[in-house]
Amino acid sequence: MGLLRVRIGGGFFMNVKKLISRVIVYFLVIIGSISFILPFLWTVSTAFKPDEQIFLFPPKWIPEPPTLIHFKEVFEFVPFGLLYKNTVVLTLLNIAGTLFSCPLAAYAFAKLKWPGRNVLFLITLATMMLPHQVTMIPQFLIFRRLGWLNTMLPLWLPSFFGNAFNIFLLRQFFLTLPKELDDAARIDGCSFFGIFWRINLPLIIPAITTVTIFTFMGTWNNFIGPLIYVRSYNAMPLSLGLRMFQEAYSAEWGALMAASLMMILPVIIVFFLLQRYFVQGISLTGLKG
C-alpha cells in the first residue's frame, strides 16, 4: 500500500528520497539500540570476568575464560540467599495485601451507592497529590512506637489497607463494565459481594494483572523504606542488602555486577512473561491520569 502510493505520487525521485529517509531512520534506531544495550553487556561482561581482566584498559569485552567465581563470592560476602528469600516473601505479601484491599474498595467506589462515597473518593484523590515525604516521618514514629523497627512488618502491612493509586486505577476499570450485567445478576438473586466476585472481578483480570505488576516492581525496587526501617539481614530485602554489600566491598566490581544481575533477572523474566500487561499498564497511567 505504502509503496503503491509512492509510485503514484512521485516516481523514481520520491522512491529514492523515501529510501534515504528509511536508511536514516534505521541507522538512528540501531545506534540508539546499541547505546541502550551496551550498559547491560558491560555488566554481564564484568560479572563473568576474572578479577585481573576487570581493570584492563582498553577493556576486554569477552572474558577469557568466563568465570562464575563472582556469583559464588556474592553468597560468601553477604547472606544473599536470605536477602533473596526476604524480597520474595515481601513481594508476595505486598501483592496479597494489595489484591485483598484494592479491588474491594474500587468496586465499592465504582458500583455501589452509599453515603459518603463521593467525599471519601475526593479525599482519596487528594492524597495522591501529596509527596510521600510528608507522611514518611509520622509513619516511622508509629512503627517505632509499635516496636516494629527491624522487622518486615512496616514494609508489607500497609498494603493490606489499600493504596490510593491502585484503587483509582481499578475503579476506572470497574466503571467501564456494563451496569446491565449487575442488574441481571441482582434479579437472579445474587448478592452484591457475589456480583463483585463472580461477575465484575473476572472481567477486570487485565487490570488486576497490571496492579500486581506495579506492586511487584514497587516492592522489588523499594529502597528508602528498608533503609528507614531495617538494619539486620533477617528482615532485609535485596535493595538494601545490595547497598550494604557495596558499602563493604566497594572495589569488588565483579561480585557487585553479579549481584546486580541477580537482582535484575527476575524483573526481566516477569517482563517477558507479562510484556503485554507492562505496556498496557504504563500507557494506562499515561492516558487516564
Partner 1 sequence: MVKFIKNKEEIITAYICVLPWILGLGIFIIGPIIASFIFSFMDYSVVLAPRFVGLDNYKKMLVSDPLFWKSLYNTLYMTVIGVPLNIILSLSVALLLNQRLKGEAFFRTIFYLPSIVPQVAMSLLWMWILNPQVGLINYLLSLIGIEGPMWLASEKWAKPAFIIMGLWGIGGNMVIFLAGLQNVPQHLYDAATVDGANTWQKFRYVTLPMLSPTIFFVLIMGIIGTLQIFTQAYIMTAGGPMDATLFYVYHLFNKAFRDFHMGYASAMAWFLFIIIFIATTINLKLAPRWVYYESE
248 binds partner 1 per the rule CB under 8 A: no
Binding partner 1 (rule: CB under 8 A), the pick from 19, 23, 122, 141 is 141
Smallest separation (angstroms) from partner 1 to the CB of 156: 13
Shortest Cβ distance from residue 234 to partner 1 (Å)?
19
Is residue 233 near partner 1 by the rule CB under 8 A? no
User: What is the separation of C-alpha 54 from the centre of its chain, rounded to a whole number of angstroms?
Assistant: 31
Q: Are 265 and 88 in contact (CB under 8 A)?
A: no
Q: All 3 cell numbers of residue 20?
A: 534515504
Q: Distances in Å between the alpha carbon of 195 and those of 110, 111, 200, 270?
A: 13, 10, 6, 31
What is the spatial distance between Cα 15 and Cα 69, in angstroms, rounded to a whole number?
Answer: 55
Among 95, 105, 152, 207, binds partner 1 (CB under 8 A): 105
Which residues in 264-283 contact partner 1 (CB under 8 A)? 264, 267-268, 271, 275, 278-279, 282-283
User: 3, 52, 138, 232: which one contacts partner 1 (CB under 8 A)?
Assistant: 138
Quick check: 16 binds partner 1 (CB under 8 A)? no
User: Rounded CA gap, 63 and 18, in Å?
Assistant: 43
- Residue 251 binds partner 1, judged by CB under 8 A: no
Site for partner 1 in 158-197 (CB under 8 A): 158, 160-164, 167, 191-193, 196
Taking Cα atoms as reference points, which of 183, 200, 190, 181 lies closest to residue 108?
Answer: 200
Residue 91 interacts with partner 1 (CB under 8 A)?
no
Closest distance of CB 224 from partner 1, Å = 6
Distance CA 135, CA 155 (A): 14
Binder to partner 1 among 100, 146, 205, 273 (CB under 8 A)?
100
CA distance 258 to 187: 60
**Distance of closest approach, residue 72 Cβ to partner 1, in angstroms:** 18
CB of 134 vs partner 1, minimal distance in Å? 5
* Smallest separation, CB 189 to partner 1 (Å): 11
Cell of 141: 514514629
Q: Are 94 and 163 in contact (CB under 8 A)?
A: no
